[in-house]
Chains A and B, each alone.
Chain A
Amino acid sequence: QKEVEQDPGPLSVPEGAIVSLNCTYSNSAFQYFMWYRQYSRKGPELLMYTYSSGNKEDGRFTAQVDKSSKYISLFIRDSQPSDSATYLCAMKGGSYIPTFGRGTSLIVHP
């Protein structure tokens, strides 16, 4: 079992839809949870950062962490074609190195 599991997609949605992206993990030591957006031929860009459990909102983006279930989510409201990208979850805890999921490819069509 990989430390971080993420469905690669692709996930195709119409413009304006609510998008839900998810990751599961196995290492209970993870405390820091991140979501990165990666456009084609670009480096990952930090979108959301959460410490421990709970929700965090930033504009159209909401990150949720459920440590009891070892499950994290990123919600995108009112999705736009410009949101089309690969979304990577990442986690870190204690002395563990930052570990990434394989990414979910999102396509928002007009």
Chain B
Amino acid sequence: EAGVAQSPRYKIIEKRQSVAFWCNPISGHATLYWYQQILGQGPKLLIQFQNNGVVDDSQLPKDRFSAERLKGVDSTLKIQPAKLEDSAVYLCASSGTSGSGELFFGEGSRLTVL
């Protein structure tokens, strides 16, 4: 079974530039999450999708972050414009059972904002 795929693995941009991250979850998983993990901290949820609908985006900084999951499969997270404090690893996870919390993570996309 293929795992969660993410790209790019690494990205370096200047502040105020834009960046997009892509995630393809495990086949058949209805729930998709985007987490932000700052160095030395645990993952913080940015947004949760159930199929192509948003379940929770209360911690997504909506003035600069956006995410979509148009066909209920893969997803894109965008940051525009980026700030220095956005430097982090962006983790995508998927779950086959929305109630259980068994999340399967991708390798992450490491963003450095200069």
Residues of A within 8 A of B (CB): 4, 6, 8, 32, 34, 36, 41-46, 49, 51, 88, 90-92, 97-103
Instruction: Decide if the interface of chain A is mainly helix, strand, loop or mixed.
Output: strand
Given contacts A34-B102, A98-B33, A44 and B107 within 8 Å (CB-CB): no
Interface residues on B, range: 20 to 34
Please give me the residue from chain A that is nearest to B107 by CB atom: A43
Complex contact A43–B108 (CB within 8 A): yes
Count of A-B contacts with CB under 8 A?
A: 58
Which B78-113 residues have C-beta < 8 A from chain A? 91, 93, 99-108, 110
Complex contact B41–A43 (CB within 8 A): no
Complex contact A90–B101 (CB within 8 A): yes
- B72 at interface by CB-CB < 8 Å: no
The distance in angstroms between the C-alpha atoms of A81 and B87, with both chains bound, is: 30
